Amino acid sequence: MAKTSTKPTKSTPNKPGNADALWEQYCETPDRELLRVYADALAEAGHPRGTFINLCLLDQPTAEQTAAKQAMQAKQKKLLAGPGGEYLREFNFGPLGLVSRARTEAGMVIASLDALRTLNPRLVLTITSIKTLKDAVAFGKLALGDIWFVDFGWITGTHGGMSLSDKQLRAIAPALADVRHLQLSCRGTPDKNFTPAGLRDAAPHWKALRYLAIDYYSSGLPPAADYARAVAETLPQLRAFDFSNHGSPEPGSPNVLANGRPSRETEHAIERGVELAEQLETALR
């Protein structure tokens, strides 16, 4: 194993050699030791991302190593994220030194999906800025199955998410065909946000979906129970459906889709969604 340096490197990265193959192996079977081998290969090629990951993987880092990790993150954050880092608006590193949560615009995803796949096999990606039907049609040509959790419900720390009309939801649906975990925001008026009819049309594309979360703001939208029926009738393969009603509950419908749990604090919506998806994946192993 390569020795982990405690000093940030400023050298220009060389080609990572067999690191790409190691990354593919790690994505297929995420394993801490395999990630360490991948990081070693990057570090040996002079890439600071390898050094950073190795520093993050230390079980008992010294004060010097901790300071070195923090200095690298402060000075080289996007480079440390990997090839996809430059396409992100904001992101956080997880404990393994990989990007765990990120946000970017739909246009960036279209332009850089291959690079975004190198961030983390368990990436939680928030996507914004599908503003027109043309945007949605272009986005719908993607294949997002390698993105672990696709989120449309969170924008820069402010809950409420991105509104998708029926036409836009139908247009982007093919891109989500192989996605396992999905979070949507349902807010606004029926002409600007998807209805149960739009959900019925889009959902049949999502044959791989195992977890769906919908943050529902009832003002001006069809009843929550109508969304419930649409999901039940079109997504029978779902293992978990988390519905949060942020409006005034309707008689007979409170939390009917939230497995008996009370509505969430809105600022924790995406965190809870990720937690439930992780619990689901653990149960399915």
pLDDT tens digit at each of 285 positions of the chain: 444 443 433 333 444 458 889 999 999 999 999 999 999 999 999 999 999 999 999 999 999 999 999 999 999 999 999 999 999 999 999 999 999 999 999 999 999 999 999 999 999 999 999 999 999 999 999 999 999 999 998 765 445 678 899 999 999 999 999 999 999 988 777 788 999 999 999 999 999 999 999 988 877 789 989 999 999 999 999 999 988 876 654 444 433 333 333 334 444 667 878 888 888 888 887
Tokens of 113: 């999906």
List CB contacts of 273: < 8 A, sequence separation 6 or more.
149, 151, 153, 181, 183, 211, 213, 242
Torsion over CA: 22, 74, 128, 249 (sign): positive
Helix (H) or strand (E) holding 105, with range, is strand 99-105
Instruction: Report the C-alpha gap between 51 and 65 in whole angstroms.
Output: 11
Q: Which domains does the chain have, with CATH numbers?
A: 19-80 (no CATH), 85-284 (3.80.10)
Tokens of 108: 């960036």
Q: How is the chain split among helix, strand and coil, in percent rounded to 5?
A: 45, 15, 40
Distance linking the first and last C-alpha atoms of the chain: 30
List CB contacts of 92: < 8 A, sequence separation 6 or more.
99, 100, 101, 102
Whole-structure pTM over 0.95, yes or no?
Answer: no
Give residue for tokens 């190593």. 65
